[in-house]
Structure 1
Amino acid sequence: MATATIIDGKDFAARLRAAIAVQVADLKKAHHLTPGLAVVLVGDDLASQVYVRNKGIQAQEAGMNSFDHRLPTTVTAAELLEKINQLNQDPAVHGILVQLPLPKHIDADAVIDAIAVAKDVDGFHPYNAGLLAVGGAGMVPCTPVGCLMLLKHQLGKLAGLRAVVLGRSNIVGKPMAALLLREHCTVTIAHSRTHDLAEECRRADIVIAAVGKPQMVKGDWLKPGATVIDVGINRITAPDGKNRLVGDVDFDSAVQVAGAITPVPGGVGPMTIACLLLNTLTAACRQRGIPVPEVQPAAE
């Protein structure tokens, strides 16, 4: 039985970062401008620490300035908002990212709202969400942008294709649907209240799984030849007692039906940081009134 093409997000992200580095070098030479990314981490969550460290390393490898701000779990909301205000005013900082989740005593929405719209490289600010909804040129959340890049690389033009987005979060589901609409797909957003979820998926040429439920999407949920983008990252205990990462898609059964599929790990995850760097480059150019370069990943 034929198996699906594996979409290598790790390789694509590496080539995208290399292309970004070329544009950053040109920006420095032509305009004496070095894009700067500030990441704010509250608390000592180990997964967040690793993620923030990787962001800093990859920003520096791309030739950008990386500014890490680590605050204790006990930081007050007022202190965190003051730190964001300082970064908003800092001309060396073009992008601000506050690592989520935040401690329960801090209102994440208020923190997101406090970030300057032009520096909101996560694309979470309501103003940027509104621009995306109406087709404007705002900042778009990194994971959906990465998913779209992988889809277009695999399929070329997406116009006319049926897409099902599993999940309706403000971070992935809703912006993903908006991006697919821009590409002229016919889009369905499905979620926990959707009747006959499997049947909705079987109608789709493209399935984006972003629900946070390990291996929920089975192979028999898929239309033969469909392209599957698995956004999920779930840690489970395997039968041998070892922990491993799996997606929201049951890879072993899906790979027998799909035409192409992203693995977990090595699929969407690496694209998120690469697109964060792309957003930072875009933000730096816009803040200086410089045309935003079109970044194309280096050839395979």
Structure 2
Amino acid sequence: MHVLGLIRVVLHLFQGLATCAFVFPLIDAAGRQRCIKRWSAKLVSVCGITVHIDHTPDVQPASRALIVSNHVSWLDIFVINSLEPCRFVAKSDIRDWPLIGWLCAKTGTIFISRGKLRDVRRIYQGLVASLHAGERVAFFPEGTTAAQGQVLPFHANLFEAAIEAQVPIQPYAIRYVDAHGRLHPAADFIGDMSFVQSMLTVLKAGGMTARLSLLAPIETAAGSHRRELADAAHDAIATALPDSVAASDAMPEPNFSRSSRVSGIAGSRPE
């Protein structure tokens, strides 16, 4: 059965390639966003995943915000995009993933090379410009995937973009569960597992539910500090995930002045 599922996924990926190559040049930004939302929803569906959105009536997806989430799997991007498309920040090696890497590039993903100061400055400036333009930008401040039930410390550097653009930070909490509501281990994308191995594991699982919790936006203001914002987002996400264990020790942050804070982003590992 998972062989049939793999065929369906590959066909859907090629449909996405065709859409990016031949349809995107003919439609406006709003049309591209609608295509991304529909395509992402279909991808998680053909992977056997049902998406369930958890939120209180007074919490909705912010139309202009920096979105941050815990990071479980490559699936996270598409689960979030099936709700409201975002422009994601991702590590540069994702660009080399089969099919998915090209699709991510064509849908506006911002790739970042770890440890390259000039690249990080360029990314930071692009983030601020995108937020000023009213886009929803998203990244995973843990900097890597973590096994479900654990929330790693957050890198705080890219939170500075929300302060400069004067937009709120909206935390999302994501988990993948089985029919009994237990965390599903097949979703974990950790260690030396490759993208293809992870996809096959998900398809063999025979279905699961992605529960995406939308949490109250965290307002930013002049004088806000990125470390405090990162800690607030981390605490909100860890609290929203049942049975999670938060790694509470903050990642060490250099003490930058306002004029030099962009340089500090080089130490982060956004994904």
Same fold (TM over 0.5): no
TM-score scaled to structure 1, two decimals?
0.28
- Give the structure with the higher percent helix: 2
TM-score by length of 2: 0.30
The structure whose RCO (Cα within 8 Å, separation 6+) is larger is 2
